Amino acid sequence: MPDAPLPAWASEIVARYDSGAAGQFILHGNVADRMLLRVSGGAKLGRLNDYLLDVLLPRFQVVLSYDPGMGLRVERGKEIFAEWPSLKELGEMPSLPLPAVRVIAHFLQYARNLRAVGAKSVSVAVILRDAQLYVPMLPQSLNHELNAIASIVRSWGSDTTLATHGQAVFLIADRINHLHPLVADNPRSAEIGVPLPDASELAGALEVLKPECPKALEDGIDFAKIASRLAGTSIAALEAFLRQRNHAGKPLGDADLGELRKALVERDAGELIDFIEPDRTLDDVIGLEGVKTRLRQDLGLWRQDDTAALPMGYLFSGPVGTGKTYLAECLAGEAGVPVVTLRNFRDRWVGSTEANLEKIFALLHALGRCIVFVDEADQALGRRAAGSGDSGVSSRVYSMLAAEMSDTRNRGKILWILASSRPDLIEVDLKRPGRIDVKVPIFPTATQEEGMVLLGALCKRRGIPLDDAAKTSLLPLVPPWLTPGAAEALAVKAYRLTKTGTPDPAAALRTCLQGYRPPVDPSIIRAQMQLAAEEATDAEFVPKEVSLYLTGT
């Protein structure tokens, strides 16, 4: 294997192989992407199969590959393979998985026997593409053929002398959780996650594509700058976009990068996430001055790369309608980083939910700095104890998320924000320091004056500003414990009235306030305020008025 500089995942393969620590490698993650191949003839784009052949395996005399579509093939060393005595008995190269795997096993043993008798040695590499299709994860499978394939493949991984005999086996699967447990859980196999390309690889891909897409990539374009803005994008998605852009004769400009990144990332992630580039900051949050001060202090540390004091995550808790999601987006906009929200990552198929989380985590790591927002966290994050009807999926989701949230290597890179009106239903371990360090309660307006400030600001945004006299006259009508959601509804209703017969903003809002009915039962709001106050990590987050209200004094 080569000594030239390689990506971290490829370097790990070389280190494990050369040290004899592993001879079988399970490659998963971004395995379907285009790869940047830096070879002696220059840089080019290819598939992972090409990367293995041209970069990692040039010294192997025979390379065999298998996938269900093309069957068993000899990628390199056909002359040597033709000398195998058993080839005449074989006839056609098998296309079905079990016969193909057995042929590979016999040829590996033949190559070992040559070494044992002192004949010329033959180094052999095996590439099993799309392994999840013929060694899949099936619960308690009684399929003899599947178990036979898994047993053979596992025996290769368990063999500590593969590297000694000049042999290597590569299994390529989209997700590790899609593979049969006998294969995926083999401690002797090296599990290697192939990440999304980093900025240098994206820049290299742009250089390769420049001659082919001259209209999309004009002369003088800064590849490094574009690549840094497109972190989290696959090379395949970028290439497809540039070819379409070039065909249309439209050059790529700075103004396109934000939307381009969003479109490409969401396309690669399917329906697993929403990717948001916030266009608002904490200045857009009305009130919550103490909370905003604390958040801005943390962002200052983030910008200075002083991550030792930076929290791993926040919990925003409070009654429904208090703007928890809005605050998270404003925080991200202030930080200048994207927001990733988890969507439909749960699946009914065995192993699919865990595989979806693998894909999400790989994307988060590729994005660099980002905020992960989990709304309704009490429902989304799973439970430590598995439910009776979910085959343990909930507990496995819980374990994977808990491990990711507490990984200290993510500090300063991935910031988790959980939002919930029922923080008491979130597992205690997920809320502990080291995962969620700061718990911020968000309350409705504590006084009528605060409520009037909120209403005035929202009406102004709607184009129906209120003067000071109007605010003073309306103040006694402002309902207690007004949430931003309820205030927004009042502002929208007032705006509608100004367009349908009550043109004066103050009169329109007066009508709305006089007929106001709380959208949520006040007893529920109070109970959720109590829960948020009890979760708060700092007493200063709980206003005096809230404490008096909750204690009944």
What are the structural domain ranges in the chain?
8-194, 199-264, 276-441, 448-514
Fold entry, domain 276-441: Rossmann fold (3.40.50)
Q: Which residues pair with 35 in a beta bridge?
A: 46
Higher pLDDT among residues 499 and 381, named by residue: 499
pLDDT of 185-219, one tens digit each? 898 999 999 988 888 899 999 999 999 999 999 88
Type of residue found at 406: S
Residue 450 has pLDDT above 70, yes or no: yes
Distance CA 448, CA 493 (A): 19
Eight-state DSSP code of residue 136 = B
pLDDT of 299-316, one tens digit each? 998 888 888 888 999 999
pLDDT of 128-186, one tens digit each? 999 999 998 876 566 888 999 999 999 998 888 888 889 999 999 988 888 988 899 89
- Which helix (H) or strand (E) segment holds residue 15: the answer is helix 8-19
Distance CA 263, CA 265 (A): 6
Q: Which parts of 343-420 are beta strand (E)?
A: 370-374, 414-420
Residue for token pair 């058993």: 86
Whole-number pLDDT of residue 553? 67
Query: What number of CA atoms fall less than 13 Å from residue 18's CA on the CB side?
Result: 12
Give long-range contacts, CB 8 A cutoff, 24+ apart: 348-354: 350/137, 350/138, 350/139, 350/391, 351/137, 351/175, 351/177, 351/178, 352/177, 352/178, 353/393, 353/396, 353/397, 354/175, 354/177, 354/393, 354/396, 354/397, 354/400
Closest CA to 187 of 159, 150, 151, 146: 159
Whole-number pLDDT of residue 3? 44
Residue 2 has pLDDT above 70, yes or no: no
Type of residue found at 155: S
Residue 348 has pLDDT above 80, yes or no: no
Does this chain's domain 8-194 share its CATH topology with 276-441? yes
Give me the mean pLDDT over the 404-419 stretch: 89
Closest CA to 366 of 549, 232, 524: 232
Higher pLDDT among residues 61 and 176, named by residue: 61
pTM metric for this prediction: 0.71
CATH of domain 8-194: 3.40.50.300
Residue for token pair 């985590």: 361
Closest CA to 455 of 511, 502, 496, 513: 513
Q: Which residues pair with 438 in a beta bridge?
A: 314
Residue 404 has pLDDT above 70, yes or no: yes
Type of residue found at 141: S
Compute the mean pLDDT over every residue in the chain, rounded to the nearest whole number.
87
Alpha helices in 75-198 (DSSP H): 78-82, 87-90, 97-116, 144-158, 181-184
pLDDT of 350-401, one tens digit each? 567 777 888 888 888 877 788 898 888 888 776 776 554 556 677 777 888 8
Distance CA 447, CA 122 (A): 82
Distance CA 324, CA 453 (A): 19
pLDDT of 249-295, one tens digit each? 998 877 777 777 777 777 777 677 777 778 889 998 888 888 899 99
Closest CA to 400 of 347, 341, 370, 357: 357
pLDDT of 95-133, one tens digit each? 999 999 999 999 999 999 988 777 778 999 999 999 999
Residue 12 has pLDDT above 90, yes or no: yes
Residue 466 has pLDDT above 80, yes or no: yes
